Structure 1
Amino acid sequence: MKLKSLILGSVAAAGLSTAGYAADLGVLTSLDVCDSLGISGLTLSSSDNCLQITGGVSYEFGIGQFRDEGIVASTIDSRKVAVGRTSGEDWDSRVISWVKFVGTAASDFGPASATIKLKSDARQRHHGAASGTTSTWDGDKDGRFFADEAFVQVGDTTTIMAGKKGSIANLGDDAPFNYLGLFNSASIDGAGVGLDGDSDLLGGHVIQVVSEVADGVKVGVGLEALQREAKNFGATGPGTLVGVVEYAGEGITAHLTAAAFEILNNKVDSWMLHAGVTGQFDAFKVRAAASYFNKSLIGGEVRGGAKPYNGANVLNALVSVEGKFDLFTLAASAEVQNVTNRPAGAADFTDYGLGASAGFAVTEGVSINLGARYFHSGFLSEGSTQVSAQLVAALTETIKATAEIGGYFGDAIKNNAAFKNDSIVYGTVGLAWAPGGGFTSSLEGTVNSEDAYKVTFKAAKNFQ
């Protein structure tokens, strides 16, 4: 069956909502549940052969006098801690769109499926007075749709997967609970102690097996990143061996993930461990997580272009606790990063950070969040602090307003020539609209004391 014919048939059946059209097409019999598989989707030819189609589009546009990302706290990837610098952009437009097809049928070993996810990620940015140029950045193949996922899988309690997909590595249970998060945690993988989410060391071309060995316990092993080419990544080659053990049940989730890199280069100089556990105890939630990267393949970047983590042994750990009560929520977190065995005899160093927040329900639909976080860079022997106050108000059932004021203070700003001031004060206001049907949109404006401002519009809709 050709994919084009299948898609056209699906659209016709869903749009006209009549069994007669599906029968005329000779492809679809009903829009129903695949009885033997318990899967909601378009039924193909029989009750145990099912096609699911999902997708979505998101758009973001920003305009103003932006600033490139500046180094506020010298973390493992400080480019992600953005406040303001001296060169800017006038506008930034980005569209991400995707459609995913999952065809599932019964087999003697359990459900057998093929997944194809097509994605496009196109972005165009106009740089401001610094360059006066327009640049186009596309996620892959000049903004055209590409195969973001393409894999087969079979099994029930034991599942075998092969193709192009995400990793089986569990890098969760490691995000801090406090309102602002933690500086180093945010820079590593968005919020955690593991690999950067953009890393190509996991996932990609894979062969994986995952099995439920007991109630709430899963184990998995995978050969991943088989598509990597050493010539494009310096001395880093293809092949990552991943193993994972997970538990979920009775208010506790926990995991241990191990990964050995470059196994197809027959050297395995670098490996990583990641562990996390979260426990819910009545009104309190507790979390602890740690990762250890032996001979790190992620260099990081701090002021002056230094990459103090490349080739070193890097230990990251955090603890976080949250208490939810009738009218308020309290949270506190702490993190530490220890970097040892740096190449060429460079000195070891230790970073650490703290964070805390308090949330108050003023009235039904109106709340206030107060937060602060601190980071000390052992590499640069300097500290950074952020404080923030945020108001969140539900104006209607579908419209929410937010307002935030805060500031960044400390040596990391005073010692950075990219900033004009010894401290940075910022303010943000925004509106979010969710009228239903999976549609969301928002409008946000922000300004800071570095003479930078930005207005951002977002809209998105997924279907499933």
Structure 2
Amino acid sequence: MKLKSLILGSVAAAGLSTAGFAADLGVLTSLDVCDALGLSGLTISSETNCLQLSGGVSYEFNWGDYRTEVPVARTFDGNRNISVDDGDADWATKVEAWLKAVGTADSDFGPAKAVIKIKEVDLTRVRNNAGAAPIVDNDGERVGLYIDEAYVSVGDTTVLMAGKKSSIAELGDDAPFNFLGLFNSDAIDGKGVGVDGDYTGLGGHSIQVVSDLGNGVRVGAGLENLNDDTPHTAVDTSVLGNVAGLVGTGAVNPARAGTLVGVLSYAGEGITAHVTGLGFGFLDGNIESWAIHAGATGTFDAFKVRGAVSYWDNFKFTTADVLNALVSVEGTFDLFKIAASGEVANVTNSAVGDYTDYGFGGSIGVNVTEGVDINLGARYFRDGLNSLDTYQVAAQIVAAVTETIKVTGEVGGYFGNSIADNAAFANDNVFYGSAELAWAPGGGFTSSVKGEVNSESAYKVTFKAAKSFE
């Protein structure tokens, strides 16, 4: 029995004979609302509603000479960049804070909720010791104070949701297991085989229904991005050859407003899998672009197997069509962990013609002693558009110095004609090193400091601190 129930129960029992303690008995009843709904954490309750509060603050400071970047691998969906020295200091300071309130009451159809999440991103960024205009968009991330979520929902096994919220699209089960990852996967926001983070037409003003059918099966359908007021990710025109310019002005575009979302997923017996279908820009009566994303992960004793594929017709409204696939396996044997991954991306109907990118990578992890792990990895990428190759090798050590302090060090290098043929690099190969000290003393507080340097004379120091509550 919870301590608060014991205390309030005693108060209520002692006050039954007097009218003066009637209010205390009412408090007991209201506090039981959260328990009856199965809600916990930081809560405030009335006679019929339970209000849950959560929030968090994070801070990040960067300093060095790092903001001038050159691609070491150019993929269909962006570049893997390396910082180079340009002679002047760069720095950035960023505070991110959020506060979320969820009010829940019982209904005949299940829990009825109202959710409000307020978020602020305060960012100052300087390049080459020069002043800068106020930042309102940080590479697709909003800056300033705004309402991140505001929606209502009702239901238990079947839930109806309406308002401003995140997407119901299932886009996971597609990240490679090897510790370096894969080049094209890294270029995609969130890693994987596309869609996730590529186009911000997911979520926003939405009407959604999800239903748990039992035995691990879940289905969902939604109308999302009905307002089309979110910043759009810009397309790298040098990759796709979009002669019309960048897609992603941040302005409302009626032709792109409205996204149809359908989801079928399964989780159980060591297997997770999903299929998500997306149709972009339906509000004007025409589907301007569509995509499908599927992924599955199976865990079998010491082995994990993962496969994922996505296809995007009219990729980010550039006329190009992209098929992107990934497979990854991992095996754990006593002190060793071995992983291998491969990826392929086929681009057709682009302004620069048809081409195929592909890559693979592998790693081996060794548990040297308790609290000390060593990871050795390599990966390769073939830029099919420009016929360029990129290799990366790296060695990493992770040591738990104490229960709250962890040290991570990594050294490595990039090689291949993608670097040798790039005049922006002073050397044919680029070597790098980094060291990070992370501290997690408990209470949800985390902090770290990291230093990075490479053979192009670029360097960066990053300090982070964060705390959340619920």
Q: Which TM-score band (shorter chain)?
A: 0.7 to 0.9
1:82 Cα deviation from its structure 2 partner: 2.9
In the alignment, does 2:449 pair up with 1:430?
Answer: no
Q: Structure 2-normalised TM-score? A: 0.86
Deviations 1:3-25 (A, max 9, x none): xxxxxxxxxxxxxxxx99xx79x
- CA offsets 1:322-381 (integer angstroms, 9 cap, x no match): 0012101000000000011224xx421000010100000001011101111111010111
- 1: CA distance, partners of 2:426 / 2:394: 21
Which piece of structure 1 moves more, 261-270 or 379-388? 261-270
- State the shift of 1:34 in Å: 1.4
User: How many residues align structurally?
Assistant: 426
Per the alignment, residue 261 of structure 1 pairs with: 280
Contact kept, 8 Å, 1:89 with 1:125, in 2: the verdict is no
Pick which of 32-41 and 211-220 moved more. Answer: 32-41
- Report the equivalent of 1:5: none
Give the match's secondary structure for 1:418: coil
Counterpart secondary structure, 2:283: helix
Residue in structure 2 matched with residue 202 of structure 1 by the alignment: 202
The residue number in structure 1 matching 2:349 is: 341
1:252-291 paired onto structure 2 within 5 Å? 252-291=271-310
Identity %: 59
Identify if the C-alpha distance between structure 1 residues 136 and 28 changes in structure 2 by more than 3 Å, giving closer, same or farther: farther
The structural deviation recorded for 1:67 is 3.2
**What one-letter code is carried by the residue in structure 2 that aligns with 1:461?**
K
Hey, what does 2:449 align to over in structure 1? 443
SS in 1 for 2:184: helix
Alignment-derived partner of residue 56 in structure 1: 56
CA–CA separation in structure 1 for the residues paired with 2:196 and 2:381: 19
Does residue 386 (structure 1) correspond to residue 392 (structure 2)? The answer is yes
> Are positions 1:314 and 2:288 aligned together?
no
CA distance 1:30–1:70, shift in 2 (3 Å): farther
**RMSD of aligned Cα (Å):** 2.4
Counterpart amino acid of residue 324 in structure 2: N
Partner of 1:396: 402
1:236 Cα shift?
Answer: 4.7
Structure 1 Cα separation of the partners of residues 107 and 91 of structure 2:
52
- CA deviation after TM superposition for structure 1 residue 420, in Å: 1.7
Rate the CA distance shift 1:116–1:201 in 2: closer, same or farther, 3 A. Answer: same
- The question of 1:408 aligning with 2:406 is answered no
TM-score, scaled to structure 1:
0.87
Assess, with a 3 A threshold, how the Cα gap between structure 1 residues 233 and 342 changes in structure 2: closer, same or farther: farther
Deviation at 1:65, TM superposition (A): 1.5
3-state SS of the aligned residue for 1:154?
A: strand
Q: Which residue of 2 aligns with 1:456?
A: 462
Instruction: Tell me if structure 2 keeps the 8 A contact 1:32–1:43.
Output: no
Asked whether 1:330 is paired with 2:330, we answer no
Equivalent residue for 2:176?
176
Q: 1:197 to 1:134 in 2, by over 3 A?
A: same
Q: Distance in 1 between matches of 2:50 and 2:391?
A: 53
- State the AA in 2 paired with 1:421: N
Residues 145-202 of structure 1: CA distance to partner in whole angstroms, max 9, x if unpaired?
2100000000001000000000000000000000000000111123101214263111
Q: Secondary structure at the match of 1:460?
A: strand
- Work out whether residues 262 and 268 of structure 1, in 8 Å CA contact, stay in contact via their aligned partners in 2: yes
The answer to which of 243-252 and 262-271 deviates more is 262-271
CA distance in 1: counterparts of 2:32 and 2:397, whole angstroms:
44
The residue identity in structure 2 corresponding to 1:137 is I
Shift of 1:86: 4.8
Answer yes or no: is the 8 Å Cα contact 1:390–1:403 preserved in 2: yes
The residue aligned with 2:18 is none
Structure 2 residue 315 is the aligned partner of structure 1 residue 296: yes
Q: Which runs of 5+ in 1 are unaligned?
A: 1-18, 299-309
Query: What are the ranges of 5 or more consecutive residues in structure 2 without an aligned counterpart?
Result: 1-10, 13-22, 230-248
Change (3 A) 1:196 1:423: farther
Partner of 1:362 in structure 2?
Answer: 368
CA displacement 1:427-460 (0-9 Å, x = unmatched): 0011000000000000110100111111110000
* Secondary structure of the corresponding residue to residue 265 of structure 1: coil
* Residue 68 of structure 1, CA deviation: 2.6
Q: Distance in 1 between matches of 2:32 and 2:405?
A: 34
- 8 A Cα contact 1:127 1:135, kept in partner: no
Q: Determine the C-alpha separation between the residues in 2 that align with 1:273 and 1:321.
A: 23
Asked if the contact 2:62/2:461 (under 8 Å) is kept, the reply is yes
Determine the structure 2 residue equivalent to 1:82: 81
- Structure 1 residues 348 and 194, CA, compared in 2 at 3 Å: closer, same or farther? same
| 8 Å CA contact retained: 2:330, 2:340 | yes
